[in-house]
């Protein structure tokens, strides 16, 4: 189910994120998800380290994921209120497909950790681009759960970090274009003195 865009530039110009809470079924079929993940791995990776991993959270495991989130949330906070509980449940159950992206640094390598972090971000973007190419929408979220050691420990171990929760599905609401920066604010010509 590939997007029917006339050129690669059309594809790049139309990729945007979707809010996971607005995503509906269907999500990618197993073969599509495998291809999306294969494309995600085709990313700049100095030293061929693969300093990233992807963990797919199956729909049948979303309730267990919610339990982990609730327990982790209560470690550093008082008893959550009703709205906080609902937000955590929504975070765990939204969108048909959930992929946890982990930054998995290789500290024994001579490749600087910063370059490894950049590779992780590039892999996440490649995943989102592959999602778009398949005609689905994606959303990359972080929030408190991405910085929780307890949540991270459900998917990996230190020194790994959660780079984000990537939700995938079908657009259930019209995607709105967000404001983009003015070109002159972020692009300049170098003029040495």
Residue 73: Cβ-neighbour burial (10 angstroms; 0-12, 13-18, 19+): buried
The per-residue pLDDT of the chain, averaged, comes to 94
- Over residues 157-181, mean pLDDT: 95
Q: What are phi and psi of 122, to 5 degrees?
A: -65, -40
Domains of the chain and any CATH numbers: 18-70+89-173 (3.40.109.10)
Per residue in 118-167, pLDDT (tens digit) is: 999 999 999 999 999 999 999 999 999 999 999 999 999 999 999 999 99
Cis peptide leading into residue 82 (ω within 30°): no
pLDDT of residue 122: 98
- Over residues 76-88, mean pLDDT: 89
The pLDDT confidence band at residue 9, using thresholds 50, 70 and 90, is: confident
């Amino acid at each position: 189910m590939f997007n029917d865009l006339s050129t690669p530039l059309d594809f790049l110009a139309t990729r945007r994120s979707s809010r996971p809470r607005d995503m509906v079924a269907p999500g990618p079929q197993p073969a599509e998800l495998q291809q999306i993940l294969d494309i995600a791995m085709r990313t700049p990776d100095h030293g061929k380290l693969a300093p990233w991993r992807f963990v797919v959270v199956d729909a049948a495991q979303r309730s267990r994921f919610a339990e982990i989130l609730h327990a982790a949330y209560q470690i550093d906070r008082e008893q959550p209120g009703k709205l906080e509980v609902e937000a955590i449940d929504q975070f765990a159950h939204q969108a048909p497909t959930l992929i946890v992206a982990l930054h998995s640094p290789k500290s024994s390598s001579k490749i600087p950790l910063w370059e490894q972090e950049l590779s992780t971000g590039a892999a996440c973007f490649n995943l989102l681009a592959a999602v778009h190419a398949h005609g689905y929408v994606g959303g990359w979220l972080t929030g408190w759960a991405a910085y929780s050691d307890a949540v991270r420990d459900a998917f990996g171990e230190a020194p790994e970090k959660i780079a984000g929760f990537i939700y995938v599905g079908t657009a259930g609401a019209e995607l709105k274009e967000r404001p983009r920066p003015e070109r002159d604010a972020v692009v300049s010509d170098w003029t040495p003195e």
